[in-house]
Structure 1
Amino acid sequence: MIRINRAVYHDKVMGCWLGKNAGGTLGEPLEEKFGREEMYHVDWYPLLPEGGIPNDDLELQLIWLQLILQKGPGITPADMAQAWMDCIAYNFDEYGLSKENMQKGLLPPVCGWHNNAFKDCMGSPIRSEIWACLAPGCMKTAARYAWQDAIADHGGGESVYGEIFNAVLESAAFIMDDKFRLLEIALSSIPKTSLTYRSVRRSIENYKKGMAYEDNRNDLMNTFYNPIAQYSPLNLGFQTIGWLYGKDFGDAICKAVNCGWDTDCTGATLGAVLGIIGGASALPEKWIAPLGYEIATNMSTGGIRNLTAPTDIRELTDVVCREAEKVTRYWGCGIEFTDDPCPEGGEYNEDAEIPPLELPWLEDYKPNALSYPLGTLEAEVRYDKDAAVTGDRASKLTVVLSNPHPVEKNIEVCFRMPEGFTAELVKCANGRGEKSKGQNGEKFVLKAWGETRLEIEVSAAAGAVRDSNRGYIIFQTEGWPAVPAVPLVLLGGSRWLVSELYEGKHLEEACGLNEEEVFKTQPEGFREVWRTGNDLELSACFKKQGIVYALHYIYSREERDVVLGVPNNGRMKLFLNGKLLHRTVMQVPLRANLGNGGAQGDGSNYKVTRLEKGMNQILIKLENDITLKEGQKSHFTIGGMSEVCTKNHGMPVLDIRRTVFPWEDHL
C-alpha cells in the first residue's frame, strides 16, 4: 500500500499540465519536418501568444480523459479507435495513415501496423501524462493504458515502447524523485533490444562518463540517426539529455529543445516530468505566468472536435484527481489517497532495490493480430506480412482457435466472403487429425483446454478488389450456443504497370515514351505489379542510374479535390491524365504521409489537384540517386482535402478503385 497525500498529489498533477504546456510552447515554433544537424540556442520562448500554442501533445490527452469519464476505467483499444473517429480530425503522418486503416475496417493494433511509415514516430510517446496522472505510483496500470493508446497508430513500432517508457517514468515520479531511479524503472518496462531502450541507456552512460552536453547530443544523433524529425528513439534520448544536464526547469527544457528534431515533444514531456516531481508550487513563475491556465486547442480550427473535457488547467486537475481515485480502486493498485501528512508524494522506500517492471502482456503482444473472445471459443486472427489482398497472390492468415472449457468440441468452419473472393482452410493442426468435410465447410475436433491453428488463404480476382473487403469466419460448435462471426477484413492493394529501367537517362531527358499520352492499352515493355500499401518498392528496378515509369489508374465515383504525393528520396515527375502536374521541388529524404499542412507532405513531392469523375491516369517518372546508401525509395499517396482548414488536409480518401485498367471491363 502506498499512501499519497491529496494536496501534494493535486499540486503534482497541476505541475504536470503547466510544465507540459510550457515545454510544448517553447519547442513548437522550432519543429521541422526533418531533423537538422545544427543545434538550436534558445533560452526563452521563440513565440509567445497569449495562452500558449495549441499542441496535439496536450489536447489529445483531453480526449482520453473524456473517454475515461464516459466509459469508465476499463476502456479497450477498440474504444480508443472509436474516439479517434469521433473526436480527432488531425491527419499528420501516422494519424492519417492509421485513421485510413480504421475507416476501412481495421482495429488496433493492426490499424497502426499495416502500411504505416510513421510507427516509429512521436505521435504516441507525447500522450503519456494522462495515464500517469490517473495511475500515480501504479506503473503497471499506467503502462497498460499507454500500450492501449499507442498501438492504435503505432502498432509494431518503437513508439509503443516510447509511450510506455514515459508513462512509467511519470507514474513513478509521483512517489519518488531521484532521476536515475526513475530512468531505471522506466527502462525496465521496455525490451532491452529496442532502439528506445538503447538510445536512453546510451544518453545516461555518456553522461556518467562525463561527456559534455553537446557531445552527448551529437553522439546520439550519429548513432540513432533518422532524417524524420519525429523519429521517437532519438527524441527519447534527447528528452533524457535535457533532464540530465539541465540545471533547473528552464535550463532543462531549453537543453532538450536545443538538441533539435521533434522540439515541441521533447520539451513538453520533460516539462511534464519536472512538473510532476516538483509540483506546480515549485515551477518558476517566469516560465508559467505568461501562459496562464487555459489550454489553447485547435478545436475551433478543426484539429479536434466534440471535446467536452475541461481545458482550464485548474478544472482539469480537479477532474483528474477525482477520477484517479476511481481508476486506482478499479485496478486494485494499492494506492491510498489521504488528507493526512505523509512523505513527499507518498510512502516509498528510496533505498529499496528496483525490480524489473514485469509486463507479461507486452511480451505476448502481436501487432499483426486481433483477438475475439467468443464465450464458447476464443479466436485470434493473425495477418501474415500485411493486411491487404491483391489479385496476384493469395493472402495468408492464421486463426488461433482456443477452447476455454474442459469439454472437447466438434467444430465446423465456413466463410462468407465478398463476390469474386474465395477463402480456403488449407491446414488445421490440432493434434487430433486433420480437417474433414462437413455439411457447410470444414470440420475438426478441438480438445478440452486445447488450441488449434487454422491456416487460411484468401484470393480475389483483380476486378473484385475494393479499398475495403469485409468477410466473416463462421464457427458452428455442435451442441453449444452459437457464437458471433469473426470479422475478416482485408484492405485492397493497388495495381500498377512498371517499365524497364531506362539506363543512364535523367529526369529531363526523353526516354522514347509519350509522357502526355492517355493510354488505351498496356504500353509495350511494362509489366504488371501489385502493391499492398503505399510503398512502390521499386529499388530492385534501379540497379544503375536511370529512369523508371510507374503507371496507375484511379477510378473515382465523383469529382474530388485530393493531395497526390510521390514522396521519394530521388526526383520525380507526376502526370495526371496526360498532363504534367508536378515535379520534385528539391531532393529530400523519404517522408511518406498523406499530405498535410501548408507545404503539403514533405514540402517537395506533393500537389493539390482534382480527380475527374471516372477513370484517372497516373504516370510517375522516377529518377534514382545512386549516391544514396539506402537505395531508391518511393511511395504514392492520395489524401483528401478538408473544407474546414489545412490541419485536416491529408484525410483518408475512401470509395475509390485502384485495381482496374481502363481497357478492362471490371467497373
Structure 2
Amino acid sequence: MPITYGTYLDKVYGGWFGKCLGGAAGAPVEGIKEIIDIKDFKEIMNTELPNDDLDLQLLWLEVLQKKGPGIKGEDLADAWYHQCWYPFSEYGYFLKNYERGIKPPLSGSFNNSFFYEGMGCPIRSEIWGFISPGKPDRAAEYAAMDARLDHGENAVFGEVFLAVIESMAFYEQDLRSLIEEGLRRIPFGSKLYRCIQMVVSCYDTKLSYLETREKILTYFGHPDFTNCIQNIGFIVLALLYGDRNMEKTIQIALSCGYDTDCTCASAAAVLGVILGYSNIEDRLLNLVQDKLVIGIDVKRKDNRIKTLAEETVQIGLSIQAQKEAGVITSIPDKVSLISWEAPGDIEIKVGYEEIPAVSAGGECYFTIQVTNHRTADWKGKLQLDNLPSGWKADLISADITVEADKNIILHNRIALDAEYNRIKDKNIIDIKLTEKGKEESKIIQFGICGMLPVKIHGIFTEQLKKQANPAHPSPHPEGCVLPSVECMCNNEVSLTREYLEENLLLEEEYPYMDILHAPEDKLDFDRKYSAEGPVCYYCSFDIWSDEKRKVWLVVGNSDGFKIWLDKELVLEKDEMRYWTPNNNSEIIELKEGRNRFVLKLLRRGKYMDFSVGFRKFEGKHYHTQKWITDLTFLR
C-alpha cells in the first residue's frame, strides 16, 4: 500500500532524529560492560560528540548522490579511504587492507579475525532502509554490500536485519512483525538469529528486561564490547520492552551497557521511523535542536537533521523513479529528482581463490572478471603491469572479446621463487584494458600482500615437575622412584627458563629449523605444528624500514612472551589472557634499514594465539593511528 510523500519524509526525519538522539545519549558511557544505573539519560547525554554511526552514512549518501543506485562496494570503500580517517578496530583493518589493494568483499574478513563481527556495520543500516521504503530485499542487498567492507558473518547479518526492519517500518507498525521480516533474511540457526529468537521468547514469557539481558550475555556474550550479537540482542530487547516510547526505549538500551552509543542510536532510529518525527515529544526534540555533529570530510549544504531527511528522501524517490512504480505518492512538484546515467562501460573485478597473499616459493591464485555493460561487443587487450621484480604471472597479456552485456573470467597465478628474500607487505599491481583501435586505457589496481617469513629456531617442552603430597598413598609399587601421576600426564614451560642460549639467539646468524610464512598479523603456530601440550617457541623475523621512525608495536597474546628488537628486550609479559589483537603495546624505534625481532612465546593451555603488528606513532594513542603498510619483510 503506497504512502504519501509527507508520511515518507516524516518517518525518515523521525528515524534520523532518533539516530542522533540515541547516539548522544549513549556515547558518554560506551564500553561499560555492566548494568548502567543512570536513571535519566538526559543527565549525561552529549550532543556535541561526532558519531561514526552517522558519519559514514553521510558519506554513503554523498556517494549515492554522485553515482546513483548502481553503486558498488568499491565506490563506498574508495570514498571511505579518502574521506574518513577513523582507524579504530575493524575500521583500521579495512583501511590497512584497502591500502594494500585488497578490496571488498575480502577487505572485511582478511586479517580481521577479532573485530569482523563488531557493531561497526550494523550501525550503518539506516541509510539503506530509508532509501528503500517497502523494499526490504533491496535494503538487504545494499546492507550486505556495505557490511562486507569491514566485517563478515554475523555482523553482515546484523546490518541486513536492521536495514530490513527499517525498510518495512514505513508500512508496518507492529514490532513483532518487523522482527520476523528481519529474521527471514538472515541465515536460520546463525548465532544472531538464535540470539534474537531468544530475546523474543524471553519477552513472551514475561521475564524482566534485566533478566533477558543476563540471558543474552550468558548464551551469546563476548568480551569485546562492540561484538554485534550481544548488542543487537540489546537493541531488540530495548524495542520490545520500550513499549513504543522513545525515552523508555533509549533508557533501557543505555542501562544494558556495552556499545551504548550504537544500541541507543539504532533502537531509537527504528522507533523514530515507526512513530514519525511529528509524533515525537517536543521535550525530546528540543534536546538535539535539529543539529548534526560531523567528524569526517563530507560536504553538506547545512548540518540540519531535516535537510538530511530531505536529501535521503530525494535519493529514495529518485531510485523509485528508475526502478519501479511508485510506492510513494503525492510528491510535490517542487521536489526535484536526480537522474543518473546507466553504467554503460567496462568493469573489471579481481577475486582471490584463496588468500590475497604470497610467500617466497609460494603461489597466489586469482581471477580477473571483465564485464561489458555496453550494447555492443568489446574487443581489446588486457595486460598486467607493475609486477614487483622477480614475480612471475601465468598471464601477462591477452587479447580478449567480451560480448555485449556479458562477462568473461580469466584465471591467473602469481608465483615467487623459493630464493626470493625481500618481499613488501604492500604490492599493488595494475590491470590495463586497451580497446582495439584506441590509445587510452582503463586501469584498475589490486593488491597481493607479502607474507612475513618467521624463522623457527626451536620448539621446547619439559616434563612437569611437581612433588606428590607425602601424606597421600603412592600410586606406584613400593620401591619405585617415579614421577607423580600428574607429571606423567603433563608438561610445563616457563618464561624465565632458557631452553637455548638466548644471548646467542639474538645474533643474526643463529640456525633455524623451519620457516612459518604468515599472511596475517596472527602467527598461526598451532596450525603448522600439531604437537600438543605446553611448548615454548623461539622465533625471529626481520623487517626493513625505509626511514628511522618511532612506531607502535601492537601485540595480541594468549600467553607469556618476550620480544627483543636488535638485542634489546622491548616487551615482556608473563600472563595468560583471552586473545585480542591489542592486548599489549609499546612505543619502539625502527632504524633505517634492517630491524631484527626475536620472540619467545609460550603455550601453557590448549591453544596459543599470538599476533604482532605496527601502527604509526604521531604522538597519539595507537587506537587513533593507522596501521603501517610500507615495510619490507626479509629472509
Task: Give the TM-score category using the shorter length.
Answer: 0.7 to 0.9
Secondary structure, counterpart of 2:40 in structure 1: coil
Answering whether residue 93 of structure 2 is matched by residue 106 of structure 1, we say: no
Match of 1:385 in 2: 354
1:508 match: 496
Residue 621 of structure 1 deviates from its aligned partner by 2.3
Q: Give the alignment of 1:340-351 within 5 angstroms.
A: none
- Distance apart, 1:169 and its partner CA: 0.7
Q: Which residue of 2 aligns with 1:458?
A: 414
Give the superposition deviation at 1:331.
Answer: 3.3
Quick one: distance in 1 between partners of 2:500 and 2:223? 36
Q: 1:325-404, aligned counterparts within 5 Å? A: 325-332=317-324, 334-338=326-330, 375=346, 381-399=350-368
What per-residue deviation string (whole Å, max 9, x for no partner) do you get for residues 439-473 of structure 1? x8789999999987655332124335322223456
SS in 1 for 2:496: coil
Is the 8 Å Cα contact of residues 569 and 587 (structure 1) preserved in structure 2? yes
Alpha carbons of structure 1 residues 412 and 28: separation in structure 2 relative to 1, 3 Å: closer
1:125-524 to structure 2, matched below 5 A, reads: 125-154=122-151, 156-247=152-243, 248-285=245-282, 287-297=284-294, 299=295, 304-308=296-300, 310-332=302-324, 334-338=326-330, 375=346, 381-399=350-368, 416=385, 417-424=387-394, 455-461=411-417, 462-471=420-429, 487=445, 489-503=447-461, 504-514=492-502, 518-521=506-509, 523-524=510-511
SS of corresponding position for 1:51:
coil
Equivalenced residue count is 588
Three-state SS of the structure 2 residue aligned to 1:119 is coil
Q: 1:611 aligns with which of 590, 603, 609?
A: 590
Paired with 1:406 and 1:55, the residues of 2 have a C-alpha distance of 44
Q: Is the 8 A contact 1:388 1:532 kept in 2?
A: yes
Give, in whole Å, the separation in 2 of the partners of 1:280 and 1:224: 34
Shift of the 507–290 alpha-carbon distance from structure 1 to 2, 3 Å rule, reads: farther
Shift in CA distance, 181/518, structure 1 to aligned 2, threshold 3 Å: same
Q: Tell me which amino acid in the other structure corresponds to 2:306.
A: R
The answer to whether the 8 A contact 2:458-2:513 is kept is yes
SS in 2 for 1:501: strand
CA distance in 1, matches of 2:74, 2:504: 47
* Aligned-partner Cα distance in 2 for 1:478–1:202: 60
Counterpart residue number, 1:124: 121
Could you tell me how far 1:387 is from its partner in structure 2?
0.7
Superposed CA offset, 1:104-142 (max 9, x none):
222211222322222211111101112222333332332
2:336 counterpart residue number:
none
Aligned position for 2:610? 634
Contact 1:389/1:465 (8 A) holds in 2? no
Kindly provide the amino acid, as one letter, of the partner of residue 134 in structure 2.
G
Partner of 2:148, secondary structure, is helix
Match of 1:649 in 2: 624
Shift of 1:399: 5.0
Q: Quick check: 2:458–2:539 contact (8 Å CA) kept in 1?
A: no
Q: Does 1:579 align with 2:578?
A: no
Map Cα deviations across residues 371-421 of structure 1 (whole Å, 9 max, x no partner). x9975xx87643123111111422223456789999999999875533211
Which position in structure 1 is the counterpart of 2:47? 51
Q: Which has the larger radius of gyration?
A: 2
Partner of 2:520: 533
What SS does the corresponding residue of 1:609 show, helix, strand or coil?
A: strand
CA contact (8 A) 1:20 1:268 kept: yes
Aligned-partner residue type, residue 213 of structure 1: Y
Q: Does 1:65 align with 2:21?
A: no
What secondary structure sits across from 2:493 in the alignment?
A: coil
Q: Per the alignment, do residues 250 and 74 of structure 1 end up closer, same or farther by CA in structure 2, a change over 3 Å counting?
A: same
d(CA) in 2 for partners of 1:560, 1:123: 31
Matched, 1:3 2:3: yes
**RMSD, aligned CA:** 3.6
Amino acid corresponding to residue 64 of structure 1 in structure 2: W
Structure 2: distance between partners of 1:58 and 1:476? 40
Shift of 1:636: 1.0
* TM-score normalised to structure 2 length: 0.82
Gaps of at least 5 residues in structure 1 are: 341-371, 426-439, 593-600, 662-667
Call closer, same or farther: CA 1:575–1:545 in 2, change over 3 Å. same
What SS does structure 2 have at the residue aligned with 1:53? coil
Report what 1:356 is aligned to: none
Bigger shift: 560-569 or 203-212? Answer: 203-212
- What SS does the corresponding residue of 2:150 show, helix, strand or coil? helix
Tell me how far apart the structure 1 counterparts of residues 455 and 501 of structure 2 sit (CA, whole Å).
Answer: 14
Taking the aligned partners of 2:373 and 2:283, their CA distance within structure 1 comes to 60
Residues 29 and 46 in structure 1, CA contact (< 8 A), matched pair in contact too: no
- Distance in 1 (CA, whole Å) between partners of 2:121 and 2:46 is 27
8 Å Cα contact 2:58-2:298 kept in structure 1: no
Residue 41, structure 1, aligned to residue 17, structure 2: no
Shift of 1:477: 10
Is residue 100–residue 428 contact of structure 2 (8 Å, CA) maintained in 1?
no
Of stretches 288-297 and 466-475 in structure 1, the one that deviates more from structure 2 is 466-475
- The amino acid of 1:192's aligned partner reads F
Distance 2:576 2:288 in 1: 39
Cα 1:409–1:264 change in 2 (3 A) is closer
Q: 2:80 aligned with 1:80, yes or no? A: no
Quick one: structure 1 residues 210 and 563, their matched pair in 2 at CA, closer, same or farther if it must change by over 3 Å?
A: same
- Please, which moves more after superposition, 238-247 or 309-318? 309-318
SS in 1 for 2:328: strand
Distance 1:219 1:412 in 2: 60
Note the alpha carbon deviations across 1:272-301, whole angstroms, 9 max, x for none: 11111112333345555334332334x3xx
Equivalent residue, structure 2, for 1:621: 600
Note the alpha carbon deviations across 1:294-313, whole angstroms, 9 max, x for none.
2334x3xxxx2354364322
Aligned pairs (5 A) from 1:590-605: 590-592=579-581, 601-602=582-583, 605=584
Q: CA 1:127/1:107 → structure 2, altered by over 3 Å: closer, same or farther? A: same
Name whichever of 79-88 and 193-202 sits farther off: 193-202
CA distance in 2, matches of 1:408, 1:145: 29
Aligned-pair CA distance for 1:230: 1.6
Would you say the 8 A contact 1:132–1:139 is kept in 2? Answer: yes
The more displaced of 530-539 and 500-509 is 500-509
Partners of 2:371 and 2:75 lie apart in 1 by 25
Query: 2:547 aligns to what?
Result: 558
Deviations 1:161-212 (A, max 9, x none): 2112111111211222100111111222222243322322232233334444
The alpha carbon displacement at 1:270 in A equals: 0.2
User: Aligned pair in 2 of structure 1 residues 485, 402: CA closer, same or farther (>3 Å)?
Assistant: same
Q: CA deviation at 1:88?
A: 0.6
Mean CA deviation greater in 240-249 or 92-101: 240-249
1:505, 1:545 within 8 Å by CA — same for their partners in 2? yes
Distance 1:539 1:25, change over 3 A: farther
* Distance of aligned partners of 1:171 and 1:403 in 2 relative to their CA distance in 1, 3 Å threshold: closer
Question: Match for 2:293: what amino acid?
Answer: A
